[in-house]
Amino acid sequence: QLSQSVAQSFPRINMQCASCHDSFIDRWKLKAAYGLAAIYASKPLAIHRCDKATGEVAVATWLYPELGNVDPQATATERLRQLADLVTSPRNGRFSRTIVNRLWHRMMGRGLVNPVDAMQTEPWNADLLDYLAVYLVESGWDLKKTIAHIATSQAYSSQAQVVQKGADDHGYIYAGPRAKLLTAEQFIDAVWQITGAAPTKMDASVLRGKVE
C-alpha cells in the first residue's frame, strides 16, 4: 500500500499492477514495487507474487536509482528521510512537474498532462509544463507563489471555455480555462464574502501537538 501511495502521490506512477506481479502495461516490475515498500518496512519484507511467496526478500530501492538511492542497511527512519530527499530533489523533475500539473488542472479545469494520474502521457504543452516546474523549484517550492503566478497570467484571465460533449474526441486544443462547478469550500467562502457572514472566531479551540 505504501508503494502504491507514494508512487501515485509524488511521481504519479500507477504501481497497483506491479504490487502483485510485473506490470503488463508499463515497465514497472514486482521487485521495484517491493523495493519501494521495503524503504518503510521495519523488518525483512518477503516478496509475494499474486499472494504466493517467491522466496525472495525485497531490498530497499528508489524507483529512479539514476537520481540516487537509499541505504538498505540504514534504519527505517533514516531510509524515510533519504526517500524524502530523493522525492523532493531538484533533479527529480517528475515531482515538480506532477505538482504544477495538479495546480494547473485544479485552476484551469484540465491538466497540462491529462489525466493527471498518468504523467507518462504527452503534455499538450511541454514547454509550459517545464517552465512552471522550474518556477516552482526556483521559488523554493512555494505553492502559494506558484498559484499566484498562474492566477495572474493572461491564460487564467482569458474567457472561460464551456465544454461541449465530445470536445476532446479529436485531440485537445487549449481554448481558455474550463468552466467548472465550485467545490463545497469555494461555495461557502463565496457565500460568506457576499453576505459578510464569515465567522470571526473559532467555535471551538483547536488543539495542536501532543496532549498529555
Helix (H, G, I), strand (E, B) or coil at 7: helix
Could you give the dihedral angle defined by the CA atoms of residues 11, 12, 13 and 17, in that order, rounded to the nearest 10 degrees? 140
The pLDDT of residue 112: 94
Q: Which residues of the chain have pLDDT under 50?
A: none
CA distance 92 to 114: 20
In the three-class reduction of DSSP (H, G, I as helix; E, B as strand; rest coil), residue 168 is classed as: coil
Q: What is the pLDDT of residues 166-196, one digit of tens each?
A: 777 778 888 889 888 888 998 999 999 999 9
Asked whether 103 and 113 are in contact (CB, 8 A), the reply is no
Positive or negative: CA dihedral 104, 23, 37, 210: positive
Pull the grid cell for residue 16: 497497483
> In whole angstroms, what is the distance from residue 35 CA to residue 30 CA?
8
Helix (H, G, I), strand (E, B) or coil at 80: helix
Global pTM exceeds 0.85: no
Q: What is the pLDDT of residue 204?
A: 73
Contacts of 76 (CB under 8 A, 6+ apart): 39, 40, 41, 42
Measured over all CA atoms, what is the biggest interatomic distance in the chain, rounded to whole angstroms? 65
The pLDDT of residue 174 = 86
pLDDT of residue 211: 53
pLDDT score for 212 = 53
Q: Write down the pLDDT at residue 184.
A: 92
